[in-house]
Structure 1
Amino acid sequence: MPLRAAHPSRGFTLIEVMVVLVIMGLVATSLTLGLDSLRGRDVDQALRRLRLVMEATADRASVRGRPIALELLPDGYRFSALDADDNWRPLNDPPVFTEKTLPTGLAWRGLRLDGQGQADSTRLQFGTQPPEYELRLATPSGEALLTGKANGEVVLQLPGRSS
């Protein structure tokens, strides 16, 4: 007959419980860090996409000969085109000219127009000649700057580096 312990073991020891808690803490920390880095990539990707779309807008307005405006919304942006009756109408031309929402952590900081008589700081108008401007955005790592040149090129400067 096999020998039995006087008190059979039931449950976990304190060391086993502590090891499991440490492992769970490490997993939670790595998930948090991973999500934060993904969030940062979303912001960088959104800024690069905005730069390309602004260059495409300058080209399209020049080719069409009709103004197109980038309208800065509180949580995103959209494009409007001037119709035949001189009214601004939302431009919905997927995938480039659709209304977009800014990712979490990205916010408008300010728009400065060079050589234009526009007082509206929420609308950037592209015409036959691309405007010169500076568009500042707040990011989790600092301020990003989009600079529009007279040739339609848009230069993106990310916080701490330039692209």
Structure 2
Amino acid sequence: MLNTIRNSREAGPCSRAHHRTASGFTLIEMLVVLLIAGILISLVALSPSLNRKSGLNEEAQRLATMLASADDEAQVRSARIAWEPIAGGYRFVQATESGGWAPIRDDLLKPHRWGVDITRVGIEYTGGHGSPTRIVFGEESISVPVTITLSAGDTRLEVISTGIGSFAVRQP
């Protein structure tokens, strides 16, 4: 029995020490994880055109939804509401009684900053009505189809109106 106690004491610290090293990570395992993380980060950093295109698509889809909502809101409020691009984003404004425009600050139509670097925003009505700086929604839906061109570098997308209050995104 004394031999059994002595053997268990001798084996105890060795098995515990072995158990401690088996539960941690080795230096090689940590280096492999860091190498994989570095490769993934470099792939993301080297593909800005993919990120720019997907970001531009998200912004164009959001804008199409917001324009349709503004058109509906103008009809509900029986008021003229306009969309206009501003530096770094866009905003919605409502016609005032004095004939001016006041920014809308409610949750739905509050000013929005672009999520990507939009380098150009163009507005063009079908049939050529000059170069407007805003799109106005009234008590009725827009009667003339309009195209908003969003550019981010060499990537372009268009948000188009069908003339009946719906908007869609397409590539030019």
Same-fold call, TM cutoff 0.5: yes
SS across alignment from 2:94: strand
SS across alignment from 1:146: strand
Match of 2:119 in 1: 107
Contact 1:69–1:125 under 8 Å retained in 2: yes
Give the whole-Å Cα distance in 2 for the aligned partners of 1:31 and 1:146: 28
Q: Rg larger in 1 or in 2?
A: 2
Contact 2:82–2:134 under 8 Å retained in 1: yes
Equivalent in 100, 103, 110 of residue 87 of structure 1: 100
Contact 1:40–1:140 under 8 Å retained in 2: no
Contact 2:57–2:157 under 8 Å retained in 1: no
CA shift digits 1:135-160 (9 cap, x unpaired) = 0011356210111122101011146x
Answering whether residue 136 of structure 2 is matched by residue 125 of structure 1, we say yes
SS across alignment from 1:79: strand
TM-score (norm. length: structure 1): 0.69
Larger fraction in helix? 2
SS across alignment from 1:155: strand
SS across alignment from 2:72: helix
Contact 1:69–1:81 under 8 Å retained in 2: yes
Match of 1:10 in 2: none
Give the whole-Å Cα distance in 2 for the aligned partners of 1:27 and 1:148: 40
Give the whole-Å Cα distance in 1 for the aligned partners of 2:152 and 2:44: 21
Give the direction of change, closer, same or farther, for the CA distance of 1:130–1:65 in structure 2 (3 Å limit). same
TM-score (norm. length: structure 2): 0.66
Identity %: 21
5+ unaligned residues in a row in structure 1: which ranges? 1-15
Q: Shift of the alpha carbon at 1:47?
A: 1.4
What is the number of equivalent residue pairs in this alignment?
139
The list of structure 1 runs, each at least 4 consecutive aligned residues, that deviate by more than 6 angstroms after superposition, is none
Give the whole-Å Cα distance in 2 for the aligned partners of 1:112 and 1:39: 23
Match of 2:13 in 1: none
Give the CA RMSD over aligned residues: 3.1
Amino acid at match of 1:87: G
Equivalent in 42, 45, 56 of residue 58 of structure 2: 45
CA shift digits 1:85-126 (9 cap, x unpaired) = 3221000111x2111111233233311124686x56221111
